[in-house]
Structure 1
Amino acid sequence: MMQTTDLRGRALSSAQLLALIPRAVADVTAASDAAEALIDDVRRRGSAALLDQAERFDHVRPATLRVPADAIARAVAELDPLVRAALEESIARVTVSSRAQVPAAQVTHPAPGATIEQRWQPVARAGVYVPGGKAVYPSSVAMNVVPAQVAGVGSIALVSPAQAEFGGNVHPAILAAAGLLGIDEVYAIGGAGAIGALAYGVDDLGLEPVQVITGPGNNFVAAAKRLVRGRVGIDAEAGATEILVIADDSADATFVAVDLISQAEHDEEASAVLVTDSPAFAERVSAEVDRLAPLTHSAERVATALGGPQSQIFLVDDLAGAVAFSNAYGPEHLEIQTSRDEEVLAGIENAGAVFVGPHTPVSLGDYLAGSNHVLPTGGQARYSPGLGAYTFLRPQQIVTYSAEPLRDVVDRLVALSKAERLPAHGEAVSARFDRP
């Protein structure tokens, strides 16, 4: 099912490794034109465009785009008790880890009488996108909303596609998760149009524009987020999920196989990659994947994802080679299952989240580890972080000088302003002391 590529005996540069990285065939760029048209339609026609898009893509025309408060309350009341307990536990754990992401205010004194305060200011309003296509993601509600609330965001709008199964309403599990978090502004809208609605607002719906949009989605959602970046902040252009496992022959082949399968069930474009220095172990994992994949609920989807060019087994000379490959890949999820886990981890630079050891599967992070599962995909982990409280915070410097520390720097400040041919900058300072 999974093809194997042998990189042993090849001294590859970073650029050569990047060229070898397998990615899904469909990408964000290919969806850009369609996403732009959908966003423009929402900007021109507002609610009418969103209703038409729901009918076109979700096969239902919602009776109302904003979900009534009683529907949210009913979803909470009818939520399976065990699911509720799991969501409440997830919320509690993500809250703890998110609080650690809020920096403390710092005050420095460059000189006597001079103060610079570094504070972290939350945005006033954020928009959260929760997918609703092949799977249902109440866990994503917690992963997006909790960091925003911890950061101090006062207004949060949640959007999720209308569900034909539920008469055009948002899926009850998503509504219940929103209700547990106290979110009452929920809209049954999805896709690129929903991203446009959050970014630009929809007057006839009473939907005010947001400052930051977060949440995973398909390539059209990712393309839409790319298009509105600049008008709003975004977490990342999250596309199809990825897992990369670094393992040696000390690992359990069944554990690795089920972890690869678990991420492949998300989407046909999902990427599942194993990097190992053991050909025998690679064969054992491949055999386990072939045995177990047909038994899973989404066997057809898993087979497509694992059989695609984005999912492969790579043979390398040693664990150092595996680390180099992983750093070039920049995986959304990285698992390390080796006899030298700490040594391997020390070499890792680029990954959305790292799961160390045989009893730390990515699935734990998806739900109850306490880490956030909204992470960069498509190699973005090489330069972007996953979602956290910091996503909703902006550092601000508060500068306060009295007269004496300003007087002390006049000559040097004037000299610099003249060197840059901006003498009025210096005059704005010297005028405070040279007034007739």
Structure 2
Amino acid sequence: MTNFPENPAETAAQSLDFHRIDLRGRSLTLAELRAVVPRAKHQTMADAEQKVLDIIAAVRSRGFEALGEFALAFDGVEQSHPRVPAAALAEALENLDPSVRAALEESIRRARRFADGQRPANVDVELGDGAVVSQNWVPVGRVGLYVPGGLAVYPSSVIMNVVPALAAGVASIALASPPQKDFGGLPHPTILAAAALLGIDEVYAIGGAQAIVSFAYGIPGAADDQAIEPVDVVTGPGNIFVATAKRLVKGVVGIDSEAGTTEIAILADASARPALVAADLISQAEHDPKAASVLITDSEELASAVQRELTVQAGTTKHGERVTTALSGPQSGVVLVDDIEQGIAVCDAYAAEHLEIMTADAAAVAARIRNAGAIFVGDYSPVSLGDYCAGSNHVLPTSGTAAFSSGLNVTTFLRAVQVINYDKAALEQVSKHIVSLSDAEDLPGHGDAVKIRFAGA
């Protein structure tokens, strides 16, 4: 249990060290920028890998027996089987606070509208008479969705995982979340209620890497209703062990990304309001002591004003100790730049999970950003809007991976299947080219497979 100081404002003022990186007057390459931006110096996937390999081996060899041992060791819960009874899902929804239910329903409504608009169209391309190549988007058959536990409760993550899978047309959806000792070994009831709202009835009380492994490989049971069937895709955020497990099972199943601890970067100039900047940095810092909060600005005056605001606001927020730890860590701080041009370069090098733009002409600046999981434009688009009710998805790439990967969306659950349909005349038209290329690659059988179709014709 966290022990908070009697006077958190005084403690924050003494201990909050929001350090600065001054890049003004320096011309740095992309590689150099990536090396100097704030990053966490904590446990890596390499450190966690052997522990996760042991979990994989145990779950694959001993199935539900191993899951029971992990539930006891990690969650303090005795468990005979992790499947959440249907009655528990119904009860959780029935007992859900009406205001929370209304908020979840609005979040679902907006997320569904955005997800429904994301589905790409099938394409048919006629390359000649009788020569048609198509690309059809086909949903995967079954997905396993992970919703973390830990320091907070994340019914919003149920929505963010489930809604795009439903919009993609996935027929079989299973969800896992850690068992909670305080709730009889089941996941938090608000998690269960969110699942019930979305019509998900296959829910498991399994946490961490073992949940990812259970979905990837499946677990046989004594009867059909006890087994966990393997999935095609695993998605959802989690800690370093969840991310490591996803990396290790990638190839057995598809994954969304190897998401780590949350992060926010804010690109701001002198026009930004310090109180808003500080509040948004704190909103992410309260997730985890290792969360990253980074301000990128060309205004030293703004940086100083934000520092003062952070000290005041961190001293009054509920999770002040956690926030102060996150803001004082090496993963957080201010990056001072010469101008917005250099600030954009820093943003692209950092490739933030969440990037807020609080500058003059924020929309135009946002349009120039290449690398970010999600971009929040102006004073009235805070990250907390995206966490709950924007309609966007909050399962986003972290740790710089936004430079090459995307947030969770409908296409995560779709496959592009190409269909080739040529008739005889269309094949004959390109047959000599196929023969020429097969000879050039010393694969004459490829050409023979075409020539035989016209032998004696």
TM-score bracket, shorter-length normalisation: over 0.9
Counterpart position of 2:146:
129
Counterpart position of 2:12:
none
Contact 1:62 1:167 in 2 (8 A): no
For residues 79 and 378 of structure 2, the distance between their equivalents in structure 1, rounded to whole angstroms, comes to: 46
Residues 1:247 and 2:264 are matched in the alignment: no
- Letter of the aligned partner of 1:354 in structure 2? I
Counterpart position of 1:99:
116
Question: What SS is found at the alignment partner of 2:175?
Answer: strand
Worse overlay, 5-14 or 56-65: 56-65
Question: What SS is found at the alignment partner of 1:376?
Answer: coil
After superposition, residues 180-191 of structure 1 pair within 5 angstroms as 180-191=197-208
Write out per-residue CA displacement over residues 48-74 of structure 1, whole angstroms, 9 at most, x where no aligned residue: 111111111111123531000000000
Picking from 9, 34, 39, the partner of 2:25 is: 9
For residues 23 and 183 of structure 1, the distance between their equivalents in structure 2, rounded to whole angstroms, comes to: 37
Contact 1:39 1:195 in 2 (8 A): no
Residues 1:434 and 2:451 are matched in the alignment: no
Runs of 4+ in 1 over 3 A off after TM superposition: none
For residues 377 and 52 of structure 1, the distance between their equivalents in structure 2, rounded to whole angstroms, comes to: 31
Residues 1:288 and 2:305 are matched in the alignment: no
For residues 318 and 91 of structure 1, the distance between their equivalents in structure 2, rounded to whole angstroms, comes to: 40
Gaps of 5+ in 2: 1-15
Counterpart position of 1:236:
257
Superposed displacement of residue 435, structure 1: 4.1
Write out per-residue CA displacement over residues 208-243 of structure 1, whole angstroms, 9 at most, x where no aligned residue: 000000000001100000000000000000110010
Counterpart position of 1:195:
212
Picking from 186, 190, 194, the partner of 1:169 is: 186
Counterpart position of 2:282:
261
After superposition, residues 51-130 of structure 1 pair within 5 angstroms as 51-130=68-147
Picking from 351, 376, 384, the partner of 2:405 is: 384
For residues 335 and 433 of structure 2, the distance between their equivalents in structure 1, rounded to whole angstroms, comes to: 59
For residues 102 and 343 of structure 1, the distance between their equivalents in structure 2, rounded to whole angstroms, comes to: 27
For residues 281 and 271 of structure 1, the distance between their equivalents in structure 2, rounded to whole angstroms, comes to: 19
Aligned-CA RMSD value: 0.9
- Letter of the aligned partner of 1:37 in structure 2? D
How many residues get paired? 436
Write out per-residue CA displacement over residues 82-120 of structure 1, whole angstroms, 9 at most, x where no aligned residue: 100111111111111111211111111111011111110
For residues 406 and 378 of structure 2, the distance between their equivalents in structure 1, rounded to whole angstroms, comes to: 22
- Letter of the aligned partner of 2:212 in structure 1? I
For residues 235 and 383 of structure 1, the distance between their equivalents in structure 2, rounded to whole angstroms, comes to: 12
Contact 1:320 1:344 in 2 (8 A): no
Residues 1:138 and 2:138 are matched in the alignment: no
Gaps of 5+ in 1: none
Superposed displacement of residue 412, structure 1: 1.2
Residues 1:424 and 2:445 are matched in the alignment: yes
Superposed displacement of residue 280, structure 1: 0.5
- Letter of the aligned partner of 2:277 in structure 1? V
Question: What SS is found at the alignment partner of 1:203?
Answer: coil
Worse overlay, 377-386 or 15-24: 15-24
TM-score (norm 1): 0.99
TM-score (norm 2): 0.94
Percent sequence identity over aligned pairs? 55
Contact 2:64 2:81 in 1 (8 A): no
Question: What SS is found at the alignment partner of 2:357?
Answer: strand
